Amino acid sequence: MTRTASAKRDYSLVGESTRHAIETGLASAEWYHTDVPRKVMKELMQRSDGPAIRDTIIWIAAILGSAGGIVWFWGTWWVVPFLFVYGVLYGSSSDSRWHECGHGTAFRTRWMNDVVYHIASFMLMRNPVQWRWSHA
C-alpha cells in the first residue's frame, strides 16, 4: 500500500488504516518494549521521598535565588539573565512538577505530592481539582 501526502486515512476500527496497522505489527504493544528485565525495572520504579525533597528544595532555592537577582539588579542589564532563569524555572519546571505530583509519582508520601501539586497548579494558573480529575 503506497500512501501519498494527500491520501485521506480511515482511522475507524474497521478501516483500511486499521488493516494496514495490523499487517505491519503496529496494532499490538509488541512493537515497543524495553530491554530492561522486569526485576530491574521494579527496582528502578521504587519511589522514595528523598530525591523528590532534594529536587524540590533545589527548585525553590533556584527560583528564590533568581528572584533575588532580579530585585538586586533591577534597572540594569544584569537583570536579564536572572529574568530568563526565573521564567524558565517558574514556567517549565512547574509544569513537570504539576504533572508528576498530580499523578502522585514524584514523592512516596501523598501529602507531599499534594502540596507541590497545588503550588505548581497555582504557578501555572490551573485549577488543581479540575485538572486532576480530567487528567486521570
Confidence of residue 5 (pLDDT cuts 50, 70, 90): low
pLDDT at 10 over 90: no
pLDDT for 56: 94
> What are the structural domain ranges in the chain?
8-46, 48-135
Q: What is the pTM of this model?
A: 0.68
CB 96 within 8 A of CB 120: no
Per-residue pLDDT reduced to its tens digit, 55-99: 999 999 999 999 999 999 999 999 999 999 999 999 888 998 998
Of the pLDDT bands very low, low, confident and very high (cuts 50, 70, 90), residue 32 is low
Q: What is the dihedral of CA 37, 43, 44, 46, to 10 degrees?
A: 140
Average pLDDT, rounded, for the chain: 86
Nearest to 108 by CA among 48, 42, 45, 56: 48
Can you tell me the distance from the alpha carbon of 124 to that of 136, in angstroms, rounded to the nearest whole number? 18
pLDDT of residue 30: 64
Q: What are phi and psi of 45, to 5 degrees?
A: -90, 0
131 has pLDDT over 90: no
Is the pLDDT at 15 greater than 90, yes or no? no
Residue 100 and residue 58: Cα distance in Å, rounded?
17
